[in-house]
Amino acid sequence: MLSTIRASSSSAARRAAFTSTTTAVAGRRLFSNSAIRAAAANETSSAPVKKVGGSSWLTMTGLTILAATSGYYLFSPVDAKPVAAKKEAPVTVAAKKEQPAPKPAVKTPEIIAAEKKDALKDTTVIFVLGGPGAGKGTQCANLVRDFGFVHLSAGDLLREEQQRPGSQYGELIKTYIREGKIVPMEVTIALLENAMLASGQKRFLIDGFPRKMDQALKFEEQVVPSKFTLYFECPEEVMLRRLMKRGETSGRADDNIESIKKRFRVFTETSYPVIEHYKKDGKVHTVSCVDAPDAVYANVKNIFTNLFKDQK
């Protein structure tokens, strides 16, 4: 009887210990329901054990400890929902919008003028003046051949512009030339400057320009200063005779007696003051044109040889 009571007390103590252990394990959510059920089944089957301290008691104790510790390692993956791997939000790269091509910078008239002036830097310009029929064109052709100058005739450029299809200045130039008047300087200077830039050269003979003092000042301010003025001096009667003969074959509208006389008068009133202005600065070389063209050129060549002897 006494042994039965002791066995019951021992069994009750073991059940209390087991309950405490399972409660603690369940509180930490590490003990599985299946492990608890297995331990409970073992406890029930051990109730009739009679021996205290025998092998059956040791077996029960070992099972209890095993059940308690197995919660750390036997947590059933069936009872817990698997944790899905956190997906990275897809990175959407916005398509780059096609950038419009940059608009070319709008150049102001001041910028354009500065660029042109820079392009003509270190340029040699010689004004070639003389009355109509003095022989300027003939002498310029010789200088081009011997000294590598570019000959620009203001009159030729104006006539070419007059004939150019679609020219906005055509009718204006035609009227001024026919009446023996001076074409507005803005037109003439623009034509000369464009011709200089287009040539890509650095030495120029500008024939028949400037016709007035304001043209001279404007050209030197806007384009390039002149080196000197070559003045072909010739009496009006000699020039008139030459022009009338040229008019027989030239087909020029201004090679008629009325236009020629107007041109003489305009030269005396407007162009000669330009020569006087440059004479004061020591920038005029005068050559008489009464003699034959070859004799005239001999004098011209001497002037240029002395001035450009160190330049090829």
Query: Which residue ranges are tagged as binding site for ATP?
Result: 133-138, 246, 291
Q: How far apart are CA 292 and CA 189, in angstroms?
A: 32
Match 């200063």 to its residue by tokens.
225
Produce one character per residue of 73-98: b if its CB has 16 or more CB atoms within 10 Å, e if not: eeeeeeeeeeeeeeeeeeeeeeeeee
Q: What is the DSSP code (8-state) at residue 60?
A: H
| Residue ranges at the known binding site | 133-138, 159, 181-183, 208-211, 215, 246, 252, 263, 291
**Per-residue CA distances from 220 to 46, 67, 208 (Å):** 127, 112, 15
**Amino acid occupying residue 237:** E
For residues 242 and 135, is the Cβ–Cβ distance under 8 A? yes
Which amino acid is it at 71?
A: G
DSSP label at residue 121:
T
Q: How far is CA 63 from CA 7, 14, 30, in A?
A: 18, 12, 17
- Provide the residue type at 214 as one letter: D
75: left (phi over 0), alpha (psi -120 to 50) or beta: beta
Binding site for a ribonucleoside 5'-phosphate, by residue number, is 159, 181-183, 208-211, 215, 252, 263
Q: Give the span between the Cα atoms of 69 and 59, in whole angstroms.
A: 15
Candidates 90, 87, 78, 84; CA nearest to 35 is 78
* Token pair of 128 as six digits: 């070639």
Q: Where are the alpha helices (DSSP H) in the chain?
A: 2-27, 33-45, 55-70, 109-119, 136-147, 154-163, 170-178, 185-199, 213-222, 236-250, 257-266, 272-280, 293-307
How many CB atoms are closer than 10 A to CB 26?
A: 14
